[in-house]
Chains A and B, each alone.
Chain A
């Protein structure tokens, strides 16, 4: 078909283009492709993993990072961690929310509701920088979609058609387990940490996860790898809360279109059989 031959010629061209210039590799740390329950064409989130991931965010990350676009109610919605309504209410009530103004014109504090956004740890960006040595802890709502890594040829070409969209989760996982001692010759600036995959290898965030840093209700051992994996999965959900609905609908739409195209083709053949062409 048109598309296939276009892609084929694109592939040939890229092979030619790459035969000349060598790829400049920056950094020794390599992001590895991980296996995720939400990967592939039929992927779905692992509820228990998302719940563990949320626990890590709540107990560790939320001290510095906001989740600006996530509501407490999202935690109970289908396709996410799917906490029960009672759990969602309890999680929301755990935080104090500033509301108002009341009838007297004053702002007041009240316990959070499921309809509230997750509160941010700092009043504004300057406060966030001031508390973090001048570095701004980024908002985590869409971080799993805003981070990626160099896939290189021919991977990026295959990625177009394999439905690979876990670059962000792969990168975050590699980053979280990527804290290491700086090599002897590496000139690490004061207050920064060495990370194998972070661009430039100097990251303002100190290693955030420690063995048994949290205690999971489901008895999962809280190793750094396990926590990194769970929190990356949670952040993927936070960035793409409708991922499951999207893939499910996609399957239905594509099946429909294939049948529709088949019927259309049969009709076309029948009509065109009247004339020589």
Chain B
């Protein structure tokens, strides 16, 4: 909601500065005075949580890079040296590795919230697509970061993922060798992965800035999905949402701290504490938990190229979501049929995640094929059909009406079936 700026410089210097570089005005309008819908629930705090995590990852990552050696002979040892001999090195490294998992946990909740409340619909299509790009960059960054400790799973995970490119017809082998910088995964591969792992987070920062910019043009969606109509519907970002987001960040930090201090290795694979050995393949090569659903989709397709296309397609389809969902109503609160299919989709996604960790054989393979089919059907068949067939419940007249409960329909943001109800 790009309205009139309300920034008034507090001093002569501030006025002088504002006339030359209005950055304080930009900050004031974006994070102090910015009008946010008054009915946002805690599912809306994950944007703030993710910003906190991105900064944490960058700071811990920069410190790790000061001590890490990107060389096949020394990488594993240098990580151990960080863990043992660098002051609080264990804290920095565990914060970074657990932080990656927390980042994905938060991003999945953030995306799930977008799906549930229809945050991808007009006029927020670009905002949503920028989010999908951030998610793709996150996956690339996390994958390359996982290669750096040069353990067994680093090496073999890198082997599996880079080999996917060899499925491209005609140029596949050439592309793969170009990615490796040689004829096998070796020192050049590790070096470039380190370089890119350092670069990509800053690209994420860039796209996050665009993401926030694209958010601040239409403003936040809200649990009712009804657009903001007047000033009554909103509250200034500060102090209302700074304090709410801040509280949520601290609560999230408790979970984060629990994993850092009391279970730092549970989210990783024990085999990665074995140094990489190109001559010995581990019995089960599995990616980190946050990539498992896509790994299951990859392996569900009997054809290699088909599997790769399906895997990348499963992410690309998210970018098309604003046009696949035909319903004009945003929030699932008012979409009885969509709401059910939303939860089925979440369950299917979790099942895919579980199957990604299991060997692709027997029942596992059969179920992962069914789940993969459902995943795509959800976007290409179910969403367009629901849009045509579903009769949405009546929408509240405005956000304010829904909050104050004067509307006949009651207060939807407190209705029992909605997930925003806090325990």
Contact = CB atoms under 8 A, between A and B. Distances in A.
Nearest to A167: B270
A261 B263 contact: no
A276 B251 contact: no
Interface in A172-215: 199
B423 interface: yes
B261 A1 contact: no
Contacts of A2: 42-43, 109
B318 interface: no
A197 to B, nearest CB: 15
B393 interface: no
Contacts of B273: 142-143, 145-146, 239
Interface residues of A, number: 61
A1 B77 CA distance: 40
Given A9-B347, A249-B261, A271 B243 contact: yes
A120 interface: no
B422 A1 contact: yes
Chain B at the A interface: SS class: helix
Nearest to B77: A69
A163 B255 CA distance: 12
Nearest to A163: B262
A4 B255 contact: no
B261 A246 contact: yes
A6 B367 contact: no
Contacts of A22: 363
Contacts of A20: 363, 367
Most buried by B among A69, A74, A146: A146
A2 B41 CA distance: 11
Contact of B367 (A21, A167, A260): A21
Interface string A257-272: 1101100110110011
Interface stretch (B132-140, B193-201, B350-358): B350-358
A185 to B, nearest CB: 24
B262 A264 contact: no
A123 to B, nearest CB: 16
Contacts of A104: none
Chain A at the B interface: SS class: helix
B257 A253 contact: yes
B250 A260 contact: yes
A250 B347 contact: no
Contacts of B261: 246-247, 249-251, 253-254
Contacts of A41: 262
B240 A13 contact: no
Interface in A221-277: 239, 241-242, 246-247, 249-251, 253-254, 257-258, 260-261, 264-265, 267-268, 271-272, 275-277
Given A1-B422, A268-B244, A16 B403 contact: no
A275 B251 CA distance: 23
A148 B270 contact: yes
Contacts of A241: 84
Interface in B293-316: none
Contacts of B416: none
Most buried by A among B246, B270, B346, B404: B270
Contacts of A257: 250, 253-254, 257
B90 interface: yes
Contacts of A9: 346-347, 350
A217 interface: no
Nearest to B274: A146
Given A14-B354, A146-B274, A264 B80 contact: no
Contact of B283 (A12, A14, A199, A264): A199
Contacts of B266: 159-160, 164-165
B69 interface: no
Interface in B258-284: 258, 260-266, 270-275, 283
B243 A268 contact: yes
Interface string B210-251: 000000000000000000000000010001100110110011
B380 interface: no
Contacts of A253: 257, 261
A272 B403 CA distance: 13
A246 B91 contact: yes
Interface in B101-127: 105, 109
Given A160-B263, A251-B261, 14 more contacts: A6-B109, A12-B347, A13-B354, A14-B354, A16-B347, A143-B273, A163-B258, A165-B265, A246-B94, A249-B91, A250-B257, A253-B261, A257-B254, A271-B239
Q: Which 10 A-B pairs have the closest CB atoms?
A: A250-B261, A146-B273, A21-B363, A148-B270, A163-B262, A13-B350, A264-B247, A261-B250, A145-B273, A142-B273
Interface of A: 1-6, 9-10, 12-14, 16-17, 20-22, 41, 68-69, 74, 138-139, 141-143, 145-148, 159-161, 163-165, 167-168, 199, 239, 241-242, 246-247, 249-251, 253-254, 257-258, 260-261, 264-265, 267-268, 271-272, 275-277
28 contacts: A9-B346, A13-B354, A16-B351, A17-B355, A20-B363, A21-B358, A68-B77, A69-B80, A69-B84, A142-B273, A147-B270, A164-B263, A167-B270, A168-B270, A241-B84, A246-B94, A249-B91, A251-B261, A254-B258, A254-B261, A258-B254, A260-B250, A261-B250, A267-B247, A271-B240, A275-B235, A277-B39, A277-B403
